[in-house]
Chains A and B, each alone.
Chain A
Amino acid sequence: DAKTTQPNSMESNEEEPVHLPCNHSTISGTDYIHWYRQLPSQGPEYVIHGLTSNVNNRMASLAIAEDRKSSTLILHRATLRDAAVYYCILDGGYGGSQGNLIFGKGTKLSVKP
């Protein structure tokens, strides 16, 4: 399975943008890039996903490099509630069915008031 590399931790100030990087140099052509986050004492929650084009939703934006070997999750204005561990995951599925979401260690984001 293709792996991802993320910084262990990052810090941000409240109401400032945050750019969370992810490297996935061995990504295959069919792998989707998913981002989940896990707030303290909660289960992971979906943030965003994409394949080749940049994506936006109400939570965040996902910028995908042209060669797809890296991507960046962008939180436009960090709030205290965004403090969480952010996971970048590749999902190619297999056999036409959903495959294994392999969670790495993720990036622990701290937000300072």
Chain B
Amino acid sequence: DAGVIQSPRHEVTEMGQEVTLRCKPISGHDYLFWYRQTMMRGLELLIYFNNNVPIDDSGMPEDRFSAKMPNASFSTLKIQPSEPRDSAVYFCASSLAGDSTDTQYFGPGTRLTVL
């Protein structure tokens, strides 16, 4: 398996523009997670899905952020409108099952810069 795939790897955009980040989880994994990493706040969970259904979105910073998972092999994280403070590395991760012994597999991340 190719692992978790994220695109784009780098995104530079201007304030106010819409940004869409994409993720393809490992085939067969039922859980998908979106994280954000900044120097100030470290790695934070934004939202996670189980079988394509959002389970916990309490980490989503505000209404400008939205995430969808239309099918088992694809998820998007959208920011509209984007702001400079959204600049961060966004990671997608997936896991096979939903218990405390399971492992999350992370993608390479998307580095977002909002000017």
Interface of A toward B, CB cutoff 8 Å: 30-32, 36, 42-46, 49, 87, 91-93, 96-105
Determine whether the beta carbon of B106 is less than 8 Å from that of A43.
yes
Interface of B toward A, CB cutoff 8 Å: 4, 31, 33, 35, 42-45, 48, 50, 55-56, 91, 93, 95, 97-109
Nearest CB on A from B59, distance (A):
8
Determine whether the beta carbon of A104 is less than 8 Å from that of B42.
yes
Nearest CB on A from B46, distance (A):
11
12 contacts between A and B (CB under 8 A): A31-B100, A44-B91, A44-B106, A46-B103, A93-B99, A98-B95, A98-B99, A98-B102, A99-B100, A101-B45, A102-B45, A103-B42
Q: Beyond A32-B101, A99-B100, is A43–B109 a contact (Cβ under 8 Å)?
A: yes
Distance, CA A44 to CA B105, complexed state (A):
8
Nearest CB on B from A80, distance (A):
21
Determine whether the beta carbon of B106 is less than 8 Å from that of A93.
no
Among A49, A99, A104, chain B packs the most CB atoms within 10 A around the CB of A99
Q: Beyond A43-B106, A98-B31, A100-B56, is A93–B42 a contact (Cβ under 8 Å)?
A: no
CB neighbours (8 Å) of A101 from chain B are 33, 45, 104
Distance, CA A104 to CA B100, complexed state (A):
18
Distance, CA A77 to CA B91, complexed state (A):
30
Distance, CA A22 to CA B66, complexed state (A):
35
A43's partner among B45, B99, B100, B108 (CB-CB below 8 A) is B108
Nearest CB on B from A31, distance (A):
7
CB neighbours (8 Å) of A43 from chain B are 4, 91, 93, 106-109
Q: Beyond A97-B50, A97-B55, A101-B104, is A44–B98 a contact (Cβ under 8 Å)?
A: no
